[in-house]
Amino acid sequence: MTGMSDELTLLASCRLCPRACGVNRLRGEKGWCGAGRLTRVARAALHHWEEPAISGTRGSGTVFFAHCNLRCLYCQNHELSWGGFGVDLSPAELAEIFLRLAASGAHNITLVTPPPYIPQIAVALRLARARGLDLPVVYNTGSYELPFSLALLRDLVDVFLPDLKYADAHLAQSYSQAPGYFATATAAIRAMRELAPADRFTEEGIMVSGLLVRHLVLPGHLENTRRVLRWIAAELGRETYVSLMAQYTLVFRAVGHPLLGRRLRPAEYEAALAELFALGLENGFCQDLDAANSSFTPAFDLTGVLPLGE
């Protein structure tokens, strides 16, 4: 492994996430998530459908990674997370994509589902920074990860955008195959808060540093939402930026599911918002129910990924 960065050597016995598979990804072995030695990317383009503080007016330069260490039944990106669709890129090629997105006028670089590729991303970001990349980097994650791995991104990621999906252990296992999710995710989010302690915005309202915690309200599971919001208020503070999402969409294995197989009702989201405000969590973002629309999911067609030689 002579000449290999310290981060990439971690792939020789991969324990980057709570699955702790221990496989040698440098030799082509695949663990639970299915990710390999290279980063697999399905799309890299301007994206306009995140929170206003992320997308702004020009869009976020968003890189959608394939493979995931969660198996959410309702995943809008299931072709990537479950199916592994995408093209394998080296850190140098990934750095080139970051620079292309910056040149396109993006407000930031947003990494979607990056946990399987933290070492490669760290290398790519340093390469891109050395070539002039000066945009904020946003880390968009399901939060089933470890503080040890997140520490590899110190001084490389500016904004953390974690989901806190579940406080209920049964839901985490049933809907995402994620044992110990709440303890793991909350420890990871605490680590993110330490890595980006200051919430800062530009004059036009673009977040350039800090933490924005997302939670998707699931149909029929208001108590789970209440418990998530109570933890945020009690443990992170009422000034924490929160995005309470109504965009639950009937896709993939949620279709026909006895509990997940319906849309979120307006009364459910209104009750979730009432809890948010009752807790004093007044910083952040909410959604209209018409956000629950598959048109907000981009086409995963290798846009911005191929051809790299142009």
Asked whether residue 305 carries a pLDDT value surpassing 70, the answer given is yes
Ramachandran assignment for 279, one of left (phi > 0), alpha (psi -120 to 50 degrees), beta (any other): alpha
Q: pLDDT tens digits, residue range 276-296?
A: 999 999 999 999 887 666 556
Contacts of 244 by beta carbon, 8 Å cutoff, 6+ apart: 215, 217, 229, 272, 273, 276, 284, 285, 286, 287
Q: What is the pLDDT of residue 198?
A: 96
The average pLDDT across 228-243 equals 98
Q: pLDDT tens digits, residue range 113-130?
A: 999 999 999 999 999 999
Domains of the chain, earliest start first? 40-296 (3.20.20.70)
Q: Which of 160, 155, 126 is nearest to 142 (CA)?
A: 160
Residue 207 pairs in a beta bridge with 201
The structure's pTM equals 0.96
Q: What is the pLDDT of residue 308?
A: 61
CA gap 189, 164 in Å, rounded: 8
Asked whether residue 310 carries a pLDDT value surpassing 80, the answer given is no
Q: Which two tokens stand for residue 134?
A: 């000066």
Peptide bond between residue 258 and the one before it cis (omega within 30 degrees of 0): no
Q: Are strands 137-141 and 60-65 parallel, antiparallel or unpaired?
A: unpaired
Q: pLDDT tens digits, residue range 173-195?
A: 999 999 999 999 999 999 999 99
59: phi then psi, degrees, rounded to nearest 5: 100, 160
Q: What is the pLDDT of residue 1?
A: 43
